[in-house]
Chains A and B, each alone.
Chain A
Amino acid sequence: GQQLNQSPQSMFIQEGEDVSMNCTSSSIFNTWLWYKQDPGEGPVLLIALYKAGELTSNGRLTAQFGITRKDSFLNISASIPSDVGIYFCAGQFGGGSEKLVFGKGTKLTVNP
């Protein structure tokens, strides 16, 4: 099935470092979302973006909706051990096609 290109696949960082990950697509999306998933659990919504160029923060997390509507990035500042998990980007076409299309995820490991 269709998936977004998400990078990097994995990251190993020290506690306190900043993290950046991104998603690109050949398709235009009306909505971009970022989720975090812990092992054995469902994805938890972190940030939702609805307009091209939009920059939104949620605590130490900041995400942007690319102006071409084909990409998005997520930054995490001053990482802490509980940031460990898999981060997924998802795009939604909207306009009658409401399904989410997901990337393959970025696995984040934070060393204390």
Chain B
Amino acid sequence: AQKITQTQPGMFVQEKEAVTLDCTYDTSDPSYGLFWYKQPSSGEMIFLIYQGSYDQQNATEGRYSLNFQKARKSANLVISASQLGDSAMYFCAMREAYLSGSARQLTFGSGTQLTVLP
């Protein structure tokens, strides 16, 4: 089973509107972290936001917020007031405390290509 599922290969949003990028995850590890990264066309991976499995509140970083629904195993990224510069590929990723062994690697979803329209 996929550990991280991003069901939206591509999305469009009008400039200044909010957009939600979906991410569902699958783990039985009691402790894990969820990350969102942005990859613009230039190719670099840019960290956006982090949510811990034990965090009581949803994470926020500027225009980014994470809608964390633990029971549903979803960690959707919300971008408010979209800007043209938000056009990029967005990846959801998870890091497990115990089940990933000593690697503690990030497991990535396949990404969502967001295009912001003027």
Asked if A and B are interacting partners, one says no
